[in-house]
Amino acid sequence: MAKAKIAYVCTDCGAEYAQWAGQCQACKSWNTLKELRLSNASSKNTRTAGSSYSGDAGSVVRSLKEVDLSVVPRIESGMSELDRVLGGGIVPGSVVLIGGDPGVGKSSLLLQVMCALSTRMAVLYVTGEESLQQVASRAKRMELPDEQLRLLTQTDVEAIAQAAQVEAPKVMVVDSIQTMQLAEVGSAAGGVSQVRESAAFLTRFAKQNNIAIFLVGHVTKSGEVAGPRVLEHIVDTVLFLEGQSDSRFRTLRAMKNRFGAVNELGVFAMTEKGMKQIKNPSAIFLSRGDEPAPGSVVMVIWEGSRPLLVEIQALVDESPYGAPKRVTVGLEQNRLAMLLAVLHRHGGVQAGDQDVYVNVVGGVKVFETSADLALLSAILSSMRNRALPQELIIFGEVGLAGEIRPVPSGQERLFEAAKHGFKQAIVPLTNVPKAGIPGMQITGVRSLQQALDALP
């Protein structure tokens, strides 16, 4: 038996070293190097995963001009929200990693998809965490078509590959990657080396046999997929299923996608019969009270390929302490501090001695800058204790010089707002449509001072 070689791998960036060190020289993280035992597993895994593989067009050297640019065929999952996040459907031979907190609904969502696909093609659901009876019980409770779905309880990756070659599925689920292991890798399941080698093995198997594989991944307390960071680099797509414990709504977001747009968002509702698609998520996030309240305004954000109307709330109160609090839920806290400085310098509004609390309703996380103007408007509304009209929509990026910058797809955002009955809008001047929008009064502003003056 060949002597196993030892390498040290950074769990954050995946960099390899011949000996242990306290700091990773690639990403500068401390105490992230973990021991990885290497043996002849790599070569053996390649042979096993590709035992039925004799080469394809991808192994032939070609010029860039000769590459076939025909559209990659997609498999419809039966859930339009999932297909949207994936970029139009499931790509054969792709590997998709789905992460999320325990109990958020990852297994339920994939079980629904696999049961729907089983009526049209061969599929295989592999579970390393549950028994066959548990999976069957969930499918029966959710009233899913389970006659054609093939199940396998296994944690050995090589055994899974052999079973898959016999079953010849088009789509396969592995739940979860942290329970998988290779016999040649000398560590326990869930370790850095096991997760890395198992994911690499399954990825090679998917590419060589043209099977789409969904990997379920656990997450850490910080919200990242457990295991080495290189896991996210190995797969083609990384999806995160998010949701709050006190809410039945779930959001599926693409953080990485080689076959579509990132930050695409799909919205679901968790019910007794599984995940239910929400075709019009704006209607959910706009469930406001009958009476207008100070510190509340609706903004239009852009998620992937569609606009989304979301309510943002702000509460400003006098701070009893020397250091005022800045608390954000769904927004970046550092950006709030920057915008408060802009509000003071270019708007003449002092909030340095006030506690400021900001919340994006519905648990939505906003990553773009179009929420700047709506955020400052909500803060000013709370400070003045003056409610803004419920039929008002606001969006726009605020620069450090106090200018209001345009945002992408401004007209599409306004049309979405008009469709939901909004009659007033304060937006960047460049985003105002030349022909206007029937039934909507649009005010274009160039500076923060103009925007504050335009507030009712």
Distance CA 210, CA 69 (A): 18
Residue 289 banded pLDDT, cuts 50, 70, 90: low
Same domain assignment for residues 296 and 412: yes
Q: Residue 119 has what pLDDT? A: 94
Same domain assignment for residues 298 and 386: yes
Q: Is residue 15's pLDDT more than 90?
A: no
Q: Is residue 42's pLDDT more than 60?
A: no
Q: Which residue has the higher pLDDT, 27 or 30?
A: 30
Q: Is residue 30's pLDDT more than 70?
A: yes
Asked if residue 172 belongs to a domain, the reply is yes
Distance CA 349, CA 316 (A): 12
189: domain CATH number is: 3.40.50.300
The alpha carbon torsion through 153, 154, 157, 160 (nearest 10 deg) reads -50
Closest of 80, 75, 151 to residue 117, by C-alpha? 75
Asked if residue 66 belongs to a domain, the reply is no
What tokens does 146 get?
Answer: 């389970």
Domain end call among 252, 279, 306? 279
Amino acid letter, residue 309: L
Q: Residue 3 has what pLDDT? A: 56
Q: Residue 220 has what pLDDT? A: 72
Residue 412 banded pLDDT, cuts 50, 70, 90: very high
> Per-residue b/e over 353-370, b at no fewer than 16 CB within 10 Å?
ebbbbbbbbbbbbbeebb
Same domain assignment for residues 250 and 310: no
Asked if residue 65 belongs to a domain, the reply is no
Domain end call among 279, 314, 348? 279
User: Where would I find the beta strands (DSSP E) of 247-376?
Assistant: 249-257, 265-271, 274-277, 296-303, 306-318, 326-329, 354-360
Q: Residue 37 has what pLDDT? A: 65
Q: Residue 45 has what pLDDT? A: 44
Backbone angles phi, psi at 410, to 5 degrees: -65, -40
Quote the mean pLDDT of the chain: 87
**What's the domain range around 148?**
73-279
Percent of the chain topping pLDDT 70: 90
Q: What are 74-122's pLDDT values in tens digits?
A: 999 999 999 999 999 999 999 999 998 888 999 999 999 999 999 999 9
Same domain assignment for residues 387 and 418: yes
Q: Is residue 52's pLDDT more than 80?
A: no
Q: What are 298-319's pLDDT values in tens digits?
A: 999 998 788 999 999 999 999 8
Same domain assignment for residues 269 and 140: yes
The residue-averaged pLDDT of 420-449 equals 94
Same domain assignment for residues 131 and 32: no
Closest of 448, 139, 407, 77 to residue 266, by C-alpha? 77
Same domain assignment for residues 311 and 224: no
User: Where would I find the beta strands (DSSP E) of 159-264?
Assistant: 171-175, 212-217, 237-242, 249-257
Asked if residue 322 belongs to a domain, the reply is yes
Same domain assignment for residues 275 and 288: no
Q: 230 by DSSP, 3-state: which?
A: helix
Residues in the chain, total:
456
Q: Residue 138 has what pLDDT? A: 93
Distance CA 440, CA 456 (A): 15
Same domain assignment for residues 207 and 127: yes
Distance CA 382, CA 351 (A): 11
Please count the structural domains in the chain. Answer: 3
Same domain assignment for residues 193 and 80: yes
Q: Residue 223 has what pLDDT? A: 65
439: domain CATH number is: 3.30.230.10
Same domain assignment for residues 301 and 400: yes
Q: Residue 391 has what pLDDT? A: 93
Domain end call among 217, 245, 279? 279
Q: Residue 137 has what pLDDT? A: 93
The residue-averaged pLDDT of 64-69 equals 79
Asked if residue 62 belongs to a domain, the reply is no
Q: Which residue has the higher pLDDT, 2 or 237?
A: 237
The residues near 224 (Cβ < 8 Å, ≥ 6 apart) are: 99
Q: What are 208-218's pLDDT values in tens digits?
A: 999 999 999 98
Q: Is residue 286's pLDDT more than 80?
A: no
Q: Residue 71 has what pLDDT? A: 66
